[in-house]
Amino acid sequence: MIGIDFYGGFVLYLGIWLVTIFILWIRELRRLRLYDLKVGKNELCKCSNCHYNFLMNNNSNISRCPRCNAMCILRKRR
């Protein structure tokens, strides 16, 4: 059997936990980068009547809501 004192065991235990947390953190960063939502040329618009969120074309700033057919105006942000 390997002889180890209390201090050495605690440092080993703490080191294993830190390595595990570091590996899980790196894995989460990779997962977020792979599955990141990219809207692209569309803009997210929210209907003021029914509060439905939908994507509209970036070239236009007026569209109709697919749910309630109300006119929605997208104000460009700076």
pLDDT in tens, 5-50: 999 999 999 999 999 999 999 999 998 887 776 656 667 888 889 9
Note whether 1 and 16 are same-domain residues: yes
Note whether 2 and 31 are same-domain residues: yes
For residues 50 and 41, give the distance between their C-alpha atoms in angstroms, rounded to a whole number: 24
Number of compact structural domains in the chain: 2
pLDDT(78) > 60? no
Note whether 7 and 27 are same-domain residues: yes
Q: Domain containing 9: what range?
A: 1-36
Note whether 1 and 32 are same-domain residues: yes
For residues 45 and 66, give the distance between their C-alpha atoms in angstroms, rounded to a whole number: 11
Residue 55 counted as domain residue? yes
**Amino acid letter for position 24:** L
Residue 78 counted as domain residue? no
Note whether 50 and 32 are same-domain residues: no
- Per the listing, tokens 């618009």 go with 45
- Backbone angles phi and psi of 5, in degrees to 5: -90, 180
Spell out the residues 6+ positions from residue 61 whose beta carbon is closer than 8 angstroms to its own.
73, 74, 75, 76
Q: Does the reported pTM lie above 0.75? A: no
